[in-house]
Chains A and B, each alone.
Chain A
Amino acid sequence: MGKQHEEFEGLALPLLDPLYNYARWLCGDADESRDLVQETFAKALKGFSSFQPGTNFRAWMFRILRNTFLTSRVGLERRNTEQEGEDGLDNTPAAHDSPEMLLIRRADTELVQRGLKELDLRFREVLILADLEEMKYQEIADTLGIPIGTVMSRLARARRQLRDSIVQALQGGNRKLVAKR
């Protein structure tokens, strides 16, 4: 095994779980996520010589996985069904009254997961990268290949949508049930 190969393994293997987690949140399917991670490793190993030492390896790996996903059949379908319109940011101020915050604190796992899955892919992924993978804005920007400002605006919008979905579910849950009948 070459030195470069060894170096790649040392860097990449610890990222296996985070990459798989990201894949699951991108495409939702377990089998597809597995294929995605395998393909990512294959591509990354092949292209490791093009990786610039000193730059962020995690962002590099995540970027490969994301590009692989986006160019896959499922990724293309997912992208086409989502509406465009990055800039029309909803600038209504975040409500800060304590009852809503209490609701967020009460949100259970199922509610949060449902809220996340309802988000557009580009909003869901920034939340996953920022809050679950605890990436810095710059790292997210490197991973997604977008400016830091866009990372921030997407994050803000993602959080607002998630918050609204949780609050609505907890406040209006009963009303909705009645209305459905």
Chain B
Amino acid sequence: MSCDWQEKIALFADDELDALARDQAANHLAGCPECTATVAEHLALKQAVRLGANRYSAPPELHASIYRQLHPSTAVSRWWKWGLSGALALLLAVLGLVLWSQRRTDPLLAQLVDQHVIALAAVNPYDVISEDRHTVKPWFQGKLPFTFNLPEVAGTPYKLLGGKLIYAGSTPGAQVVYQAGQHKISVFMLQDTGRSIASPRSSFTVKNWKEGSVRFYLVTDANEAEAGKLATMLQEANRS
């Protein structure tokens, strides 16, 4: 290497010279093609590294975990903990209430109570209107996947009003309505699903029981005694 400057070329290219030395180097370069070529190669290589070398950026989760590391107390602050446990308690309470109220009113029972109320208010509440059980019962034949018996109500406080085909819980069923004094009593008969249902507390008297493959539901605003007596009669009629 003939030129003394060659040793300082790297310093020049890396901008490590002070102002005076830099000016001197620049002056020298203007007249020395050899050194100029070296500087050019040096700068080309620096640029190749700068452009070619991948500059890795920290992934977002690293940013997050470093932040957590620096803020151990604020990451899950006491307020947060209290707030969270409060919200959890509230959630549990709401969930419990929902489950409890579901237990209180089985959706099928609710549907049958609605059906009873509809029958009370409807202009044409029955598909078959008859006081005779031998007219009402046969009307359902072929319409239901099960059969049932109706009790003889002559000489009792009950009067048969009629029957209606209903759909409840996606299955067809029978609604038979009796008059008891000023009250009406709906008796629903649906195929039993093997699910026993707790009788709910509501303003209506609701009873349900199973005879064979049929589940009977009795819905009325009449009192417990009147409903119970008709229920017994229905149970006896279907047992024999």
Contacts and interface: CB of A to CB of B under 8 A. Distances in A.
A130 B55 CA distance: 13
A104 B48 contact: yes
Nearest to B1: A93
Interface residues of B, number: 37
B58 A37 contact: yes
B117 interface: no
A25 to B, nearest CB: 7
Given A16-B66, A37-B62, A162-B49, A21 B56 contact: yes
Interface of B is mostly: helix
A20 B62 contact: yes
Interface string A139-164: 00000000000001001100100110
B10 interface: yes
Interface string A1-41: 10001001100010011011100110000100110011001
B37 interface: yes
Interface string B4-36: 001000110010100000000000000000100
Contact of B56 (A33, A45, A137): A33
Given A38-B65, A93-B1, A163 B45 contact: yes
A20 B54 CA distance: 12
Contacts of A132: 49-50, 53, 55
B147 interface: no
Given A13-B66, A107-B52, A137 B14 contact: yes
B55 A101 contact: no
B69 A38 contact: yes
A116 interface: yes
A25 B48 contact: no
Nearest to A101: B41
A29 to B, nearest CB: 11
A1 B58 contact: no
Nearest to B6: A93
Contacts, number: 119
Interface residues of A, number: 51
A5 B70 contact: yes
B48 A24 contact: no
A70 B63 CA distance: 23
Contact of B53 (A41, A116, A159): A116
A96 B49 contact: no
B40 A41 contact: no
A112 B40 contact: no
Given A17-B58, A21-B57, A34-B59, A159 B45 contact: yes
Interface string B54-89: 111111011101100111011000000000000000
B46 interface: yes
B154 interface: no
Contacts of A74: none
Nearest to A114: B52
Contact of A162 (B45, B55, B62): B45
B238 interface: no
Given A33-B56, A105-B44, 7 more contacts: A1-B73, A37-B66, A107-B48, A127-B49, A128-B49, A130-B14, A132-B49
23 contacts: A1-B71, A5-B70, A13-B66, A20-B62, A21-B56, A34-B58, A37-B58, A37-B62, A38-B66, A41-B66, A93-B1, A94-B38, A96-B34, A100-B41, A104-B45, A105-B48, A108-B52, A112-B52, A131-B46, A137-B14, A137-B16, A162-B48, A163-B41
Interface of B: 1, 6, 10-11, 14, 16, 34, 37-38, 40-42, 44-46, 48-59, 61-63, 65-66, 69-71, 73-74
Closest CB pairs A-B (n = 9): A112-B52, A96-B37, A20-B58, A24-B56, A131-B49, A21-B56, A101-B41, A109-B52, A104-B44
